Chain A
């Protein structure tokens, strides 16, 4: 049984080996919807939008899931020496890739490092921020969906959020990756058991004539903000949240041996174009 719904701005597939288990799939889709509602940039009512609007003015109480994503984002930010930073929302807004809810003028915008935890579910920001969790929340949503499926007794299956995917159970799943030079072609790169793989690349952005969504957070130079990368950058990890976020570190560093990967027990895989 395989089902697919539009969520998180992409197509989310959930597949299980058994034919019963409809309720488990429904519940797995519900947690993805919940992540979508909490952490979506497009929705001006989401918790993320509230953080961007208020966190520099006052302490903002957040859902434990949002707190967890921000915690992991901070951890990866630190380990990658700033290469992964969710504080790039305004760059994507300026490029027309995300909607403009707030007009930022004369503000020195901060990054994820400016977010501080006052309590496990309470944050404040030292500076105004425009966070976009688009580079990490999909992976987190996939992990949460897998957790639900496992807790409902589903033995084996996979969740794929538009290319950020995780397989579970005692089965090897063949994994195909799109050829960055012609994305309609698929390359079978191997098979995976109980793990996650996420991929970044610009071939769809190029096809749809959009600016690069891979943002270099360490530069102020307008010509370097939108990283232009050619290949396909995949990360294998136990959990999809790490796989998702670390693809940005791989794409920006272009270094398969960045110390960050070992730290999170991840493995980098590049397909050159």
Chain B
């Protein structure tokens, strides 16, 4: 181990150096998440209309108030699912991908972006929008030098709630898709 303390820190002046406020970390893109969670599997976009009733049930199960958007859902030929969602807390916005196998158990979770803020902005959709779907190459103000952040353990409880609402989504909407009955099948059923 080799440790080189910053000269400012030695002098106790670290507090006087310009503080870095709020940071965004972009880990992977939607395409990378698809490849990581479903290597060598083709995914088809499968958006779902989220009814008020479903929205209410997802909210009740997860205590997340921010409505779920049903556009970022994909299905694999074997019946597996990929869902992308965001959780917005008081101090952060996290977008994440959840992979579910055909029977609804979680295959994997990847964090796409973690944006931290201590300001009011996190509640403003306009502010959040600038980060959604961005990559590290996009010209938003991301400090690429900030990598190794030490500090008290940051809880991932909000995200756990988010994942919970995805499992509710599976139970109520993905498991037996209501739109899967075509008129053709209906007539056969008679």
Q: Nearest chain-A residue to B119 (Cβ)?
A: A184
Q: Is A32 at the interface (CB under 8 A from chain B)?
A: no
B27 touches A163 (CB 8 A): no
A15 touches B147 (CB 8 A): yes
B109 touches A5 (CB 8 A): yes
Bound together, the chains give a CA A163 to CA B155 distance in angstroms of: 11
A177 touches B150 (CB 8 A): yes
Q: In the complex, what residues of B have CB within 8 A of residue A195's CB?
A: 1-3
Interface string of A100-128 (1 = CB under 8 A from B): 00000000000000000000000000000
The DSSP consensus for interface residues of chain B is mixed
B4 touches A162 (CB 8 A): no
Taking CB atoms and an 8 Å cut-off, the chain B residues in 1-19 that contact chain A are 1-6, 8-9, 14-15, 17, 19
Number of interface residues of B (CB under 8 A): 46
B153 touches A175 (CB 8 A): no
Contact partner of A191 (CB less than 8 A), chosen from B4, B36, B109, B153, is B4
Q: Is B52 at the interface (CB under 8 A from chain A)?
A: no
Taking CB atoms and an 8 Å cut-off, the chain B residues in 115-137 that contact chain A are 116-118
Bound together, the chains give a CA A258 to CA B9 distance in angstroms of: 21
Minimum Cβ distance to chain B for residue A87 (Å): 20
Minimum Cβ distance to chain B for residue A191 (Å): 5
Bound together, the chains give a CA A11 to CA B94 distance in angstroms of: 11
Q: Nearest chain-B residue to A7 (Cβ)?
A: B156
Q: Is B186 at the interface (CB under 8 A from chain A)?
A: no
Minimum Cβ distance to chain A for residue B25 (Å): 7
Residues of B within 8 A of A (CB): 1-6, 8-9, 14-15, 17, 19-23, 25, 27-28, 36, 91, 96, 108-111, 114, 116-118, 145-157, 159-160, 163
